[in-house]
């Protein structure tokens, strides 16, 4: 492939990508193709002979297009996903072209320094202690895994057990205290760390999904000898509710426990002066997991782990091998802070997003999404036969459709389905504390009040049609 071929290929790619992004305002948000159609479109015999890159690119774009979920659309409200701010998309393209292996300073010096700078900005924006160590991981799943691995190291070390050399068999054991409405990734992280459900104590949550602090005290007091990790949550994936973090930190630390915070999106409240009081006290925790690909709006995949005990972080994640060239002076080797070995230089898009938004831009992004979530809630609640069933404290709204006969359990999933089929916006359903609900998550920098109004109209139209 010569230089002119690169140009033709990437100019075509640029046209395809900008065509997609510029078409978002008018595009149906959900996919149109069925599973069978996508299989038929993408299925090709793998030939013996090569196919030229331009053909591969054109064919891929054409076959994938009807199966794309318009996640970056300003009317995509599914999960807690969000789009990507333009500077981070551009940086992500460059990251691909540069093809750095960002495990070691020796292999990717600019990537390591961009991460170092971005880590400093993030620590400051999120109100964390300046001395924290930072890992750029694939998402909050791996951020939780990394933070809990550091916690497992620290709590066992305090009782004289080195888990990295001795493993868990024969150890004093680790007890993990979680909330009743924790995210599923906490359970998987614990499984990966050799901590089974029998080592997990569940503290009941209230109707919004917040861990009950008095119940936490009771659970902690029931066993004061086993090394303990407490997992708090900032931002319940359904309601957006935040655990009473200041109380949790105080109760846990009084008993020598490690506090891990799953703040996949809720930790970003700390970046907004108006919302920061919701997470006051979070800076006292020991590890914090969050996502950049959710509320910071960088492309997938991008999660972050911060640790107040850099030595525990490194003890859990550090790697040594004879052929690796490790940092000798002040350099930072990323592979000592995340579970990946070879890895994408995912700090570049984070750096670009932060620089382009600025401190005020991040706060504004978070504030705007919350204001638009309230706009959703107010408009839906005002309609007949619709109820909002959470306190809208952040960017999440849970909605039920009792209609005229009150049968919300039947009607709500049908409305979700109808809205997805309608295509004006896209959102999904859930079961909240035993009852079906529609989830609305406003997590995208480009969503406007007009998008919300148009989506509310579509939702109400669909509810009416479901009857
Ligand atoms: C999304 C989410 C996760 C998982 O994050 P990924 O980036 O998808 O791995 C964990 N915890 C909470 C509270 C979340 O909202």
**What integer pLDDT is reported at residue 323 of this predicted model?**
72
Residue 415 to residue 321: CA distance in whole angstroms: 55
Instruction: Please work out whether the CB of residue 185 comes within 6 Å of at least one atom of ligand 1.
Output: yes
What DSSP letter does each residue of 259-308 carry, written as one string? Answer: EEEE-TTGGGGGGSTTTGGGGTTGGGSSEEEEESSSTT---SS-EEEEES
Q: For 74-78, 166-170, 280-284, 329-333, which range has the lowest pLDDT when averaged over its residues?
A: 329-333
- With a cut of 90, say whether residue 361 has pLDDT above it: yes
Measured CA to CA, the distance from residue 333 to residue 340 in angstroms comes to: 12
> What's the chain's length in residues?
467
Residue located via tokens 């997990």: 200
Give the pLDDT band (50/70/90) at residue 159. very high
Dist CA 431 CA 380 (whole Å): 19
Expressed in angstroms and rounded, the spacing between residue 260 Cα and the centre of ligand 1 is 14
Q: Rounded to whole angstroms, what are the CA distances from 67 to 13, 16, 192, 255, 293?
A: 18, 15, 33, 51, 21
Q: List the domain boundaries for the chain.
A: 3-68, 90-353
CA 388 to chain centre: 24
Share of the chain above pLDDT 70, in %: 98
Which class would CATH give 90-353? alpha beta
- How large a percentage of the chain has pLDDT more than 90? 94
Instruction: Name the H helices within 158-239.
Output: 163-166, 184-192, 213-221
Q: Is the pLDDT of residue 465 over 70?
A: yes
Asked if 146 contacts 304 with a C-beta cutoff of 8 angstroms, the reply is no
- Contact 291 CB / ligand 1 (< 6 Å): yes
Distance of alpha carbon 358 from alpha carbon 374, whole angstroms: 25
Write down the pTM of the prediction.
0.97
Ligand 1 centroid distance, CA of 183 (Å): 7
Q: What distance in Å separates the CA atoms of residue 134 and residue 118, rounded to the nearest whole number? A: 10
Q: Is-contact 399 438, C-beta < 8 A?
A: yes
Between the CA of 185 and the centroid of ligand 1 the distance, in Å, is: 7
Q: How far separated are the first and last CA of the chain, in Å rounded?
A: 59
Q: What is the pLDDT of residue 3?
A: 64
Residue 81 vs residues 26, 94, 146, 365, 400: alpha-carbon distances, Å: 20, 23, 22, 14, 21
Please tell me if the CB atom of residue 237 comes closer than 6 angstroms to any atom of ligand 1.
yes
Q: Where are the alpha helices (DSSP H) in 48-183?
A: 53-64, 86-98, 109-125, 140-157, 163-166
- Please tell me if the CB atom of residue 141 comes closer than 6 angstroms to any atom of ligand 1: yes
- pLDDT, tens only, 327-339: 776 788 899 999 9
The yes-or-no verdict on residue 1 having pLDDT over 70 is no
Assigned token pair, 334: 């990323």
pLDDT digits (tens, 9 = 90+) for 233-254: 999 999 999 999 999 999 999 9
What are the φ/ψ torsions at residue 408 (nearest 5 degrees)?
A: -65, -30
Whether cis (ω within 30° of 0) applies to the bond prior to 377 is no
pLDDT in tens, 429-439: 999 999 999 99
SS3 for 12? Answer: helix
Nearest-angstrom CA–CA distance, 169 and 161: 11
Judge if the beta carbon of residue 150 lies within 6 A of ligand 1: no
Instruction: Give the model confidence (pLDDT) of 39-93 as tens digits.
Output: 999 998 999 999 999 999 999 999 999 999 999 999 999 999 989 999 999 999 9
No. of helices (H) and no. of strands (E), the chain: 14, 11
Q: Which of 2-16, 123-137, 288-302, 419-433 has the lowest mean pLDDT?
A: 2-16
Let me know if 58 is exposed, middle or buried by CB neighbors in 10 A (0-12, 13-18, 19+). middle
- Asked if 115 and 136 touch (Cβ cutoff 8 Å), the reply is yes
243 C-beta closer than 6 A to ligand 1: no
Q: Tell whether the model's pLDDT for residue 321 goes beyond 80.
A: no
Helices (H), 158-243: 163-166, 184-192, 213-221
Res 332: pLDDT? 86
For residues 191-197, average pLDDT: 95
Residue 2 gets the label, from left (phi > 0), alpha (psi -120 to 50) or beta, of beta
Q: What is the pLDDT of residue 168?
A: 95
Residue position matching structure tokens 């054409």: 62
Q: Ligand 1 pocket test: which of 79, 139, 304 has the largest number of ligand atoms within 8 Å of its C-beta?
A: 139
Mean predicted lDDT score pLDDT of the chain? 96
Cα atoms in the Cβ-side hemisphere of radius 13 Å centred on 279? 31
Q: What are phi and psi of 158, to 5 degrees?
A: -60, -25
| 136, 181, 185: residue to mutate for ligand 1 pocket, most atoms within 8 A of CB | 185
- Tokens (6 digits) for 20: 């997609």
Contact 375, 452 (CB under 8 A): yes
Identify which of 308, 327, 273 has the alpha carbon closest to the alpha carbon of residue 335.
327
CB of 103 within 6 A of ligand 1: the answer is: no
Separation of alpha carbons 42 and 39, rounded Å: 5
Asked whether the predicted pLDDT for residue 268 surpasses 80, the reply is yes
The three-state (H, E, C) secondary structure of 60-71, written as one string: HHHHHHHHCCCC
Does the pLDDT of residue 296 top 70, yes or no? yes
State the distance from the centre of ligand 1 to the C-alpha of 362, rounded, in angstroms: 19
3-class SS at 224?
Answer: coil
Residue 222 has pLDDT above 80, yes or no: yes
Query: What is the DSSP code (8-state) at residue 234?
Result: B
Query: pLDDT value at position 320?
Result: 77
For helices 53-64 and 35-42, what crossing angle results, to 10°?
170
DSSP letter, residue 130: T
């Amino acid at each position: 492939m010569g230089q002119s071929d690169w140009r033709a290929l990437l100019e075509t790619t640029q046209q395809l990508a900008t065509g997609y992004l510029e078409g978002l305002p008018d595009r149906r948000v959900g996919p149109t193709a069925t599973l069978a159609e996508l299989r038929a479109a993408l299925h090709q015999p793998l030939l013996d002979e090569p196919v030229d890159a331009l053909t591969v690119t054109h064919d891929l774009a054409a076959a994938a297009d009807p199966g794309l979920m318009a996640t970056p659309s300003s009317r995509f409200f599914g999960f807690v996903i969000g789009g990507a701010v333009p500077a981070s998309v551009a940086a992500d393209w460059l990251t691909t072209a540069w093809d750095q292996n960002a495990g070691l300073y020796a292999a990717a010096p600019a990537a390591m320094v961009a991460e170092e700078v971005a880590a400093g900005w993030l620590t400051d924006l999120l109100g964390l202690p300046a001395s924290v160590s930072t890992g750029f991981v694939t998402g909050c799943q791996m951020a939780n895994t990394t933070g809990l691995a550091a916690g497992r190291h620290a709590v066992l070390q305090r009782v004289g057990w080195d888990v990295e050399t001795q493993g868990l068999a024969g150890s004093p054991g680790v007890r993990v205290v979680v909330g009743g409405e924790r995210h599923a990734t906490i359970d998987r992280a614990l499984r990966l760390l050799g901590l089974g459900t029998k080592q997990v104590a569940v503290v009941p949550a209230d109707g919004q999904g917040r861990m009950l602090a008095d119940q936490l005290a009771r659970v902690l007091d029931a066993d004061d000898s086993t090394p303990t990790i407490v997992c708090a949550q900032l931002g319940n994936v359904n309601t957006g509710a935040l655990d009473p973090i200041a109380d949790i930190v105080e109760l846990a630390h009084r008993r020598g426990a490690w506090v891990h915070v799953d703040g996949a999106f809720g930790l970003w409240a700390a970046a907004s002066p108006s919302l920061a009081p919701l997470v006051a006290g979070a800076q006292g925790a020991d590890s914090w997991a969050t996502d950049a690909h959710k509320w910071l709006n960088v492309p997938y995949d991008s999660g972050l782990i911060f640790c107040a005990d850099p030595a525990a972080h490194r003890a859990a994640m550090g790697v040594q091998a004879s052929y690796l060239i490790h940092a000798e002076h002040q350099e930072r080797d990323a592979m000592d802070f995340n579970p990946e070995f070879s890895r994408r230089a995912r700090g570049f898009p984070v750096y670009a997003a932060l620089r382009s938004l600025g401190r005020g831009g991040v706060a504004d992004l978070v504030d705007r999404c919350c204001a638009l979530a309230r706009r959703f809630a107010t408009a839906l609640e005002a309609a007949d036969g619709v109820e909002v069933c959470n306190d809208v404290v952040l960017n999440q709204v849970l909605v039920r459709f009792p209609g005229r006969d009150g049968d919300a359990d039947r009607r709500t999933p049908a409305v979700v389905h109808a809205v997805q089929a309608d295509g004006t916006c896209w959102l999904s359903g859930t079961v909240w504390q035993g009852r079906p609900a529609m989830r609305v998550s406003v997590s995208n920098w480009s969503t406007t009040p007009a998008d919300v109004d148009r989506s509310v109209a579509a939702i109400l139209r669909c509810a009416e049609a479901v009857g």
